[in-house]
Structure 1
Amino acid sequence: MAERRKEELKKKKEKLAELKRAREERKSTPPAPAPAESQKEKTKKDELDALLLELLPKQEPKVEAPEKVPENEIPTTPDPTCIIDTKAASNIIPQNIITSSGPATPTLSSRFIPDFTTFEAVILDVPPKEIVHYNKEVQTAATSFEAPPPSEDEIREKVRMEFEEQQKAKEAAAAEQRARQEAEKKKELKLLELSDEEMKNILNSSEFHEFVTHSTKMVERMLTDNFYDHMKDYTFNAAAERDENEGARVRYLFSFFDDRWSKNRFVTDVNWSHKNPELCVASYNKNPYNMNDPDGVVLIWNLRLIGRPEFVFHSQSDVLTTMFSEFHPSAVLGGTYSGQILLWDMRAKSLPVLKTPLSTAGHTHPVYSMQMVGTQNAHNLITASTDGTVCSWQLETLLQPTETLELVHSGHNKTDEVSVTSFGFPENETSTFWVGTEEGNVYQANRFGHAGGKAGINQYDSYKGHWGPVTGLHFHPLVGPVDFSDLFLTSSVDWTVKLWKAKSVSKPSASAQTISPLYSFEGSDDYIYDVKWSPTNPALFGSVDGKGNFAVWNLNEDTEIPAVNTQVGNGRALNKLQWDKEGRRVAIGSSDGRVHVYDVGELCNPREDEWIKMQKTLSEMNESGEMIGKMNTK
């Protein structure tokens, strides 16, 4: 049996070797046509299946009465009646083959069938850990000293620069081409030359003059800007400069003067704009040496245009007082010697756009003072003339006054008329006002009858203190924590300035009373033509006199002598002064036709205790005034 088994195994090995040789020959030889190759493969497959069946281990057949058969008695040849699962054989899965004892139909015995299940698996591709090998002898690569390759941003930037250079080259070529074409066109076209007559017509046209005037004004504003030092040296010692400019000082800035319009005229009034703080308006009387010029002119000066006026307005009569409309930025008002009230518009020409008629319905005597009262929605222009007539006007129409009031006083020496030279309203007051007269008295008057009183002058209260005409009257502005709006100043040709306390209107007098001033400032030796409170410092006011002196008084410092007294100009009489809105600059009108502008510096800035000191000063003045009154009574 062993020998037979060996022979069978030898035959099988030879068969396998033959199959391997056939496989190698098949790989080395080119493929045959499709049908033949298919047939050959089928044959080889059948041979492989038969060989696998032979290699499968033989199992003993099971019978009804199983008996243990010795191993050497197992038949070596396969039973032709057995059934072989070729599929299982191809997968080399052994299968028990059971045969019957006789030639009957074979039956398969039970075998183990595995239970297969299906599941989804997630395959993770984890890269192996990198092993870094370090060589002590070589620490740098051979290419480490070479320049690194350009990055993507560098390449993009290089491409962009090349593109821009190409574009610039194209634009330069196009510009050169256009310039060449324009040059050729100019050569072809003949230049038109204006004749002498055409040139003369252009130069004499009004449009050309307006263009030149407007353009040169703009240039001069930039060249004459004195409020910013374009050549300032920041390395200069600022402490020394501050010491020089601080303290009680008055610094001259510049003067407005025009040979065409200011020469041989007096400045009768000055005022500042409420909306445009750089604009200043001045009124002038007639020029006796040039009869062809208008009798009165009003010039609007600009702090940034010193050489010439910004606007020039004409009048058929001397303009004695002027002001900007507080609620109409482009409107300028003026009172004339003939009694007319004029309104100019900066958007129009030099002539007035509105004016009052010369009739008894308005003023027929010179108007030296005017004031705007009310609010934006309800305001009136109040004017007073030397015949005692006070009129109220609406600026929309100046054909006739909305109100007319005749100021008369029964105690007047010669006539009942009161010749008004100046007047003023307290802050936020529209009905009650005070007037200064030619005889030197000050009276309180009402526009309307109220509280048992009548419209007109209060016949019982007389403010007596001056011995000459009252040239200026101004109420204290309502600023700061303490209300001093019942205080007013008056100036006169008797060389004095008086401080008054207005009597309350709610307590009218039942009998004639004479009210004396709180204090008299007698530091001048000539006519004092105007006086004004500072709009920011409660104890500060300024005055001008006939000798060209500009005095600044500070009641909290000294009441005997002014804090600053400076000579203005060439010593000519100073007619009017006006503080600007911030209280830092003062415009002074002179009798030589010049408007001088001064800077008062730190004097305009009040200290925190300025109002408290002012109250103490007023109480001391009251005590001294009562003592003087008792001494005069005795």
Structure 2
Amino acid sequence: MNELKAKRAAALVEKKRRLEELKARRNNRSTNTAQSSAVSASKTGNLDEYIDSLLHSAPPGGSITSKANVAKGNAADSVSTGTRTEAKVSFAPAPAMSKIDQMNQDQTMMATSASTQSSREAPLSPVKKVETFAMCTQTEEDDFPMQLAESDDNELQVKKSETGDQSMNEDISSNSAEGNEDMEKEPKLLTEDEISKTYSSAPFSTFFNSASKKVERLLGAPLLSDLLLDDTQYYTDKESKRDASTSTTDRKDSFVTAQIPFSFPKWTANRDITSLDWSPHRGELMLASYHMPSSSSSSTGSTAVPSLAPNGTPSASLLPRSKTEMTGSDGLVIVWNLAMPSRPEHIFTCGSPLLNAKFHPTEGSLVVGACYSGQVVVWDTRSKGRLPVQRSSLNILGDGKRSGGHVHPIVGMETIDSGFVTAASDGTVNFWSFSNLMEPAETVIVPGANISSLAIAPESGTILVGEENGSIHAIFPSTSGGGRSSSSKRTIVKFDSSSKSGGDQPGHYGNVTGLSTKPPLKNNSNVGIVKGFARGHQGLVLSSGVDWTTKLWAPAYTEKPLLSLLSHSYDYMSDVAWSPVHPSIFATASSNGTIGLWNLAASLDEPMNGSQGLSLENGNSSHGVNKIKWSPDGRRIVAACSDTLHVLGMSDELWKTKGNEGTRIINNLKGRGLLEDDEDV
């Protein structure tokens, strides 16, 4: 308190000093003005004396002619009978008149005399009337405030300083009194109940989530730069790139510039990731769908009930509404931000395990999910809860016929221009509109099929589905306008799983775990469509299976596989994905915990990163890679191992193209005899 008083007293002394300086400056300015006036008067003294001498000297005629006395009625001096006389008036300076005033009066009298003389000598001319007018604009007084002079400003500052000094003294006295009271009062400590009540209150939770998320985004900016920027692009030779990559990631591979894991065991423990997706609206967002916890698999019915109760906890909150929400919700979708690897951006729950989830293609705040129960659900990041805001119907008629959506697990989901497509394990393929989830717009049934995977050819809209027995079916677009009646118009073709050359390249022997088609070209007007697929390298299709192989297909030319790529570790391949920007590069995911990177323009036999693959857990192969997904710009890959996401930053060798990679793929296939010469592209 003594320090506070001392500071306020020092401030008061400083203000008084400034006030004295202002007063002294104003006195000096007035003194200087008086001195300058005296100097100017002294300089003009000789001129005044000269004018005074001229005014008091006698005129040449001895008198000054004046005619003003006639107008004043002085008849004795001005008018005589038959003649006109002139009065002689001599002027003497009045003792009280100054020299300047006397000079002005004399000049006025001389000008009056001259004008009177000229008016008598010349006739009067008619006066021309000049009409004038003024234009103005009506405004408020506050629009153009009057500017104060510098002296007024100084006086105003002086008054404010005096007022401020008085208020400062009052503040010092009041603060001293308040300080004494504060010293007497001790801070109140909250009890544990009050602390828990504050933590659980909605205002505090909202503030804490928002503030902590902003802080963590700022702290995660270096991680985001590592994933978005390629540091190796500043090195000219390949060896320097390899050394830089080794120094930053502690691995001998030059294709990965950064690797960051994303996990939140509080919610995802004992869960497996079932699907991945990148946001088409914000490049730093990605999502993962999670299956039900393995520890609660035997009590599915009891845990789903509490998870369906109304939930007011926002999706951005990390705190569960109850102790059973984290383990009681069978389905889970988490939206991640690249800048926050240790906490999710949003958390969504569902009463059924989730097998697929994707961002809405046009609405950035919506997330679409496909459940094990056959339902399609939609979440909204703007809503106040974690549960879906919309669901598809699950109606089954009494005679066993279906009415509405799927009634079996949805194993595949892909978005299209007007909606999305889902495939269930019973062979049903539904076409949905985002505006109506009550009933699918179209339904196609693949006879006798147990579908395990789904893909779409973007140029023609042909649907590809893989079966659990290794077969692949193509569902070609309908020739009619759509609707449920058009399901019979679609043509379904089963690919031949036998070899094209007598058994060298057969189809898959087991479950087809993944299908991948190339993304659409920016200008696909010149792409030829044959048998529902594009010709050339753009129509190539990849498939992965549990038979340790990844197969290459060219449906525009043949319904048999062209090439089979074998895993050297003899582990089943869990997923495969084409690069969205490089026409000859794709990635494979293996159950031994490694990722393979292939470039068909360079080699048809060995992956780019060697036969050992890229290990995500530094040699720990206890967890396999479930799913992989390229970012839309091809610079990052997200891979799922158990409940952990691994985001890999790719070097420029995997996303920069030379322009002729597609032609080199076709030439390599022709050189092997896998494509005939007459099958031009």
TM-score bucket of the superposed structures, by smaller chain: 0.5 to 0.7
Task: Classify the secondary structure of the residue corresponding to 2:538.
Answer: coil
Query: Which among 586, 590, 598 is matched to residue 641 of structure 2?
Result: 590
Give the equivalent residue in structure 2 for 1:331: 366
The 5 Å alignment of 1:86-165 reads: none
Query: Which among 457, 475, 495 is matched to residue 445 of structure 1?
Result: 475
Structure 1-normalised TM-score? 0.63
Give the C-alpha shift of residue 204 in structure 1: 2.6
C-alpha distance in 1, partners of 2:577/2:495? 24
Give the equivalent residue in structure 1 for 2:224: 227
C-alpha distance in 1, partners of 2:568/2:165? 77
Residue 178 and residue 273 in structure 1: after superposition, are their counterparts in 2 closer, same or farther (change >3 A)?
A: farther
Residue 282 and residue 179 in structure 1: after superposition, are their counterparts in 2 closer, same or farther (change >3 A)?
A: farther
Give the equivalent residue in structure 1 for 2:595: 550
Residue 586 and residue 185 in structure 1: after superposition, are their counterparts in 2 closer, same or farther (change >3 A)?
A: same
The 5 Å alignment of 1:139-538 reads: 178=171, 181-182=174-175, 184-185=177-178, 193=188, 196=191, 198-225=194-221, 226-228=223-225, 244-245=243-244, 248-289=254-295, 292=324, 293=327, 294-348=329-383, 349-359=385-395, 360=402, 361-374=404-417, 379-408=418-447, 417-430=448-461, 432-449=462-479, 455-459=489-493, 462=496, 465-479=507-521, 484-503=537-556, 515-525=559-569, 526-538=571-583
Give the C-alpha shift of residue 350 in structure 1: 0.7
C-alpha distance in 1, partners of 2:290/2:163? 67
Task: Classify the secondary structure of the residue corresponding to 1:518.
Answer: strand
Give the equivalent residue in structure 2 for 1:10: none
Query: What do you get for the CA RMSD once the two structures are aligned?
Result: 3.9
Give the C-alpha shift of residue 554 in structure 1: 1.0
Residue 171 and residue 523 in structure 1: after superposition, are their counterparts in 2 closer, same or farther (change >3 A)?
A: farther
Query: Which among 635, 651, 657 is matched to residue 607 of structure 1?
Result: 657
Give the equivalent residue in structure 2 for 1:16: none
C-alpha distance in 2, partners of 1:227/1:453? 46
The one-letter amino acid paired with 2:511 is P
Residue 202 and residue 387 in structure 1: after superposition, are their counterparts in 2 closer, same or farther (change >3 A)?
A: same
The 5 Å alignment of 1:548-587 reads: 548-564=593-609, 565-569=613-617, 570-571=620-621, 572-587=623-638
The answer (yes or no) to whether the contact 1:523–1:561 under 8 Å persists in 2 is no
C-alpha distance in 2, partners of 1:194/1:547? 55
Give the C-alpha shift of residue 549 in structure 1: 0.8
Give the equivalent residue in structure 2 for 1:632: none
Task: Classify the secondary structure of the residue corresponding to 2:423.
Answer: strand
Task: Classify the secondary structure of the residue corresponding to 2:224.
Answer: coil
**Structure 1 regions of 5+ residues with no counterpart?**
1-30, 32-36, 43-156, 409-416, 505-513, 629-634
Give the equivalent residue in structure 2 for 1:620: 668
The answer (yes or no) to whether the contact 2:669–2:675 under 8 Å persists in 1 is no
| Identity value in percent | 28
Task: Classify the secondary structure of the residue corresponding to 1:202.
Answer: helix
Structure 2-normalised TM-score? 0.59
Give the C-alpha shift of residue 622 in structure 1: 3.7
The one-letter amino acid paired with 1:620 is N
The answer (yes or no) to whether the contact 2:443–2:487 under 8 Å persists in 1 is no
The one-letter amino acid paired with 1:402 is A
Task: Classify the secondary structure of the residue corresponding to 2:516.
Answer: strand
Task: Classify the secondary structure of the residue corresponding to 1:275.
Answer: coil
Give the C-alpha shift of residue 503 in structure 1: 2.5
Task: Classify the secondary structure of the residue corresponding to 2:672.
Answer: helix
The answer (yes or no) to whether the contact 1:541–1:554 under 8 Å persists in 2 is yes
Q: Please give the per-residue CA displacement for 1:237-272, whole angstroms capped at 9, x wherever unaligned.
A: 987975634794224421111121111111111111
The answer (yes or no) to whether the contact 1:407–1:457 under 8 Å persists in 2 is no
C-alpha distance in 1, partners of 2:167/2:568? 80
The answer (yes or no) to whether the contact 2:601–2:668 under 8 Å persists in 1 is no
Give the C-alpha shift of residue 213 in structure 1: 2.0
Residue 461 and residue 218 in structure 1: after superposition, are their counterparts in 2 closer, same or farther (change >3 A)?
A: same
Give the C-alpha shift of residue 186 in structure 1: 6.4
C-alpha distance in 2, partners of 1:170/1:426? 80
Give the equivalent residue in structure 1 for 2:307: none
Give the C-alpha shift of residue 498 in structure 1: 1.1
C-alpha distance in 1, partners of 2:158/2:653? 64
Residue 200 and residue 455 in structure 1: after superposition, are their counterparts in 2 closer, same or farther (change >3 A)?
A: same
**Structure 2 regions of 5+ residues with no counterpart?**
1-55, 64-149, 246-252, 297-302, 304-323, 396-401, 499-506, 528-536, 677-681
The answer (yes or no) to whether the contact 2:471–2:494 under 8 Å persists in 1 is no
The one-letter amino acid paired with 1:518 is L
Task: Classify the secondary structure of the residue corresponding to 1:289.
Answer: helix
The answer (yes or no) to whether the contact 1:335–1:370 under 8 Å persists in 2 is yes
C-alpha distance in 1, partners of 2:491/2:265? 44
C-alpha distance in 1, partners of 2:215/2:370? 33
Give the C-alpha shift of residue 449 in structure 1: 4.1
The answer (yes or no) to whether the contact 2:455–2:463 under 8 Å persists in 1 is yes
Residue 203 and residue 406 in structure 1: after superposition, are their counterparts in 2 closer, same or farther (change >3 A)?
A: same
* Rg larger in structure: 1
Q: Please give the per-residue CA displacement for 1:266-306, whole angstroms capped at 9, x wherever unaligned.
A: 11111111101111100111113255421121111111111
The answer (yes or no) to whether the contact 1:271–1:280 under 8 Å persists in 2 is yes
C-alpha distance in 1, partners of 2:580/2:154? 65
Residue 198 and residue 238 in structure 1: after superposition, are their counterparts in 2 closer, same or farther (change >3 A)?
A: same
Give the C-alpha shift of residue 587 in structure 1: 0.5
Give the C-alpha shift of residue 544 in structure 1: 0.5
Task: Classify the secondary structure of the residue corresponding to 1:210.
Answer: helix
The answer (yes or no) to whether the contact 1:333–1:343 under 8 Å persists in 2 is yes
Q: How many residues align?
A: 448
